[in-house]
């Protein structure tokens, strides 16, 4: 199984910065071989999805697309919302849902997040469900059994996000054990201050990592990918 490296750009970057990042992402025989053990997933801001899709196709980049959120409603009269329905034809394969920044700044509830998960699944978009400990039990109560088994779980301790204070990789086994009886999902991703120095440790105990800050600068990100892929050989 490939390990997932998920780049969440949050509300960063302009159109030209997105074009630069993707047009300069390495794509030669050497890089393709080196990165073959990784599933690289990019979540740009919504306005840049179509451009990202175009460059990824044109350059045949080994990058899959994710959204950072989607609507808990279907298509229709929901001004400002982007429905999973709208994403058809954009090659979006994943949706990061329930990120703690959305709970905190946009008052997302576990019910709304569960609705978003269900909407994503209607359109074959795989949810990457973000969870911190206070919501492990509560969020599970709102999900149908089908939703649960279809989600990848991303353990995202709020204190670790953007703080440089990553959670010890050694704690993740206990997290996995805590989540196992609550959720049917088997995939566990870790997010929170992941960087090139610690990514190898997380990939030993998790199925992938979710990056914010460390995904923004192309060089940093590519360096991290190489470190991640080397770490899997050991």
99 is catalytic: yes
Among 131, 153, 214, 228, binds ligand PGA (CB under 6 A): 214
Are 189 and 210 in contact by the 8 Å Cβ rule? The answer is yes
Q: Report the distance separating Cα 229 and Cα 234, nearest Å.
A: 10
Q: Report the distance separating Cα 54 and Cα 65, nearest Å.
A: 11
- Tokens coding 36: 């073959």
Among 3, 5, 7, 8, binds ligand PGA (CB under 6 A): 8
Does residue 161 belong to the site contacting ligand PGA (CB under 6 A)? yes
Contact map string, positions 12 to 51, toward ligand PGA, x by CB under 6 A: ----------------------------------------
At 208, is the secondary structure helix, strand, or coil?
strand
Among 22, 179, 211, 225, binds ligand PGA (CB under 6 A): 211
Task: Give buried/exposed letters for 195-219 (b at 16+ CB in 10 A, else e).
Answer: bbebbbbbbeebbbbbbbbbbbebe
* Residue 54 Cα distances to 31, 50, 96, 202, 220, angstroms: 20, 6, 21, 32, 23
Measured from the CB atom, the residue of 83 and 228 that comes closer to ligand PGA is 228
DSSP element (H, E) containing 212: none
Q: Report the distance separating Cα 103 and Cα 101, nearest Å.
A: 5
Q: Judged by CB under 6 A, which stretch of 11-19, 41-49, 115-123, 209-217 contacts ligand PGA?
A: 209-217
* Residue 184 Cα distances to 34, 67, 125, angstroms: 33, 23, 18
Measured from the CB atom, the residue of 161 and 175 that comes closer to ligand PGA is 161
Does residue 213 belong to the site contacting ligand PGA (CB under 6 A)? yes
Contact map string, positions 78 to 117, toward ligand PGA, x by CB under 6 A: ----------------------------------------
156 is catalytic: yes
Does residue 132 belong to the site contacting ligand PGA (CB under 6 A)? no
Among 39, 69, 115, 156, binds ligand PGA (CB under 6 A): 156
Beta pairing partners, 65: 42, 92
Q: Judged by CB under 6 A, which stretch of 34-42, 53-61, 62-70, 187-195 contacts ligand PGA?
A: 187-195
Does residue 192 belong to the site contacting ligand PGA (CB under 6 A)? yes
Measured from the CB atom, the residue of 27 and 231 that comes closer to ligand PGA is 231
Which residues have a Cβ under 8 Å from the Cβ of 206 and sit 6 or more positions away? 3, 169, 172, 188, 189, 190
Does residue 157 belong to the site contacting ligand PGA (CB under 6 A)? no
Question: Looking at 39, 119, 156, 167, which residue is catalytic?
Answer: 156
DSSP element (H, E) containing 131: strand 126-131
Indicate which residues carry an active-site annotation.
99, 156
């Amino acid at each position: 199984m490939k390990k997932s490296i998920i780049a969440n750009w949050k509300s960063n970057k302009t159109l030209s910065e997105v074009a630069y990042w993707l047009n300069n992402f390495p794509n030669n025989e050497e890089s393709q071989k080196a990165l073959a053990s990784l599933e690289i997933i990019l979540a740009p801001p919504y306005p840049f999805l179509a451009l990202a899709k175009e460059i990824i196709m044109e350059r045949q980049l080994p990058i899959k697309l994710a959204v950072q959120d989607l609507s808990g409603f279907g298509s229709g009269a929901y001004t400002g919302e982007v429905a999973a329905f709208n994403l058809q034809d954009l090659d979006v394969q994943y949706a990061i849902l329930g990120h703690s920044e959305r709970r905190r700044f946009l008052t997302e509830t576990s019910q709304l997040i569960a609705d978003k998960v269900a909407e994503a699944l209607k359109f074959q978009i795989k949810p990457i469900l973000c969870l911190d400990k206070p919501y492990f039990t509560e969020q599970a109560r709102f999900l149908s059994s089908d939703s649960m088994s279809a989600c990848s779980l991303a353990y995202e301790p709020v204190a670790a996000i953007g703080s440089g204070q990553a959670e010890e990789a050694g704690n993740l086994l206990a997290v996995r054990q805590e989540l196992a009886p609550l959720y049917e999902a088997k995939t566990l991703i870790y997010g929170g201050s992941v960087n090139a120095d610690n990514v190898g440790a997380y990939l030993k105990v998790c199925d992938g990592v979710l990056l914010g800050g460390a995904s923004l600068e192309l060089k940093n990100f590519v360096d991290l990918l190489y470190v991640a892929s080397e770490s899997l050989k050991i």
